[in-house]
Structure 1
Amino acid sequence: MRKFLLVLLIGIVLSACNTKEKRSERKTNEPKVYSNEFFSLEYPSDWDYEEEINDMADTIPAMSKGIRATFYKNNPYAPFHTVMVQKSAMFECFETPEEWRDLSVQMKQFSPEYIGTVDNLMLDSIQFGPYPAAMAGFVVITEDGDTLIHKQLVVMDGHDLYYLNNSYDWNDDGTLQKKGDSILSTFRIKNSSQDQ
């Protein structure tokens, strides 16, 4: 009887160990998918997001519906890092991403947080997949006194305009920049003019 109880107890312990292993295997680091009517994006499973909608088209017919989604790791001890995608609500007034990028640079001059541009991030005539794009880079000082790099990719799909932003700590060794760029590489436009 003792041998039977011992074998039964060992069997229960081994079964519990296998169950724990299977449960931990189920926990994966598969990315989450954010999606709205305009675009989708994959982001890390331990990140959160906030969404803002700008629908002024009812009051200003020349404007379109805009949406901004900001992704971040909700950990106060982690270095500052956010990824943000914005579909602009602006009306059609420029034909190239470089013109929209230049407007973005000019508008930042009115914000005391933005203290300058990063020359090696100022790029013209680039592509983001099939879409024409331009890039800007800014140095930013936050209200808390942190210094950040704000890397902005301006992407055009027909007359629709998207801003893809990767903001990370000035002292980044390249890790945060690469992670943000990797997240932004999953950005997909729905009902793209390229599909028509």
Structure 2
Amino acid sequence: MADAAGLTVRTIQKVESERHSPDVQTLRSIARAIGFDVAVFDKPTPDQEKRQQEEMKRALRQTALVPTSPIRKANDFYSRNKAWHAILINTEAIEADDALALAASISEWMDDLDGIWEISTASQRLDYASSIAALCQELEALDYPTHFCSFRQQHMRDKGALWDVGLISFLPKAEHDGDRYGLVTLDDP
């Protein structure tokens, strides 16, 4: 939650334990991270509270917390990339235009690799991974490390179908630059 909201773990712990009454900006950050309007934190009527709880339960059933790792060198991408049924690119944390342009380039690379990664030679894959890693290094220099992972999602219409989904997320630089977590809404692909 802290990574997704751009807050410290300690702030989240204080809010959860009710030792801290968060300011409006903290509430906005948490609301944005979980995909709700900040009004969700207003004191509701009993009917509103019941509807909010039902909506929250439904949203939580459709949300997954997935571990992500940074892409800093070619092998960070090369060793984890494969053919995906779907790829999610999360750019919502990027505010600077130059960083967004680099993220768009990485997204275009992912589109270009769709369908050719599996049929490429090892040296071609390494070239692709090197190009992507170079873009990720440029983006990290602008304070947006690129994080990558995969997860499995059950197809909503065909409960027996599992989809391999790749996730690339551009997160603001944090206190630590290692593995982090991303919130994923499990939508019907």
Fold shared per TM-score above 0.5:
no
Higher gyration radius (CA)? 1
- Superposition TM-score, scaled by structure 2 size: 0.30
- Superposition TM-score, scaled by structure 1 size: 0.29
Greater percentage in strand: 1
Greater percentage in helix: 2
Q: Give the number of the structure with larger relative contact order, counting CA–CA contacts within 8 Å between residues 6 or more apart.
A: 2
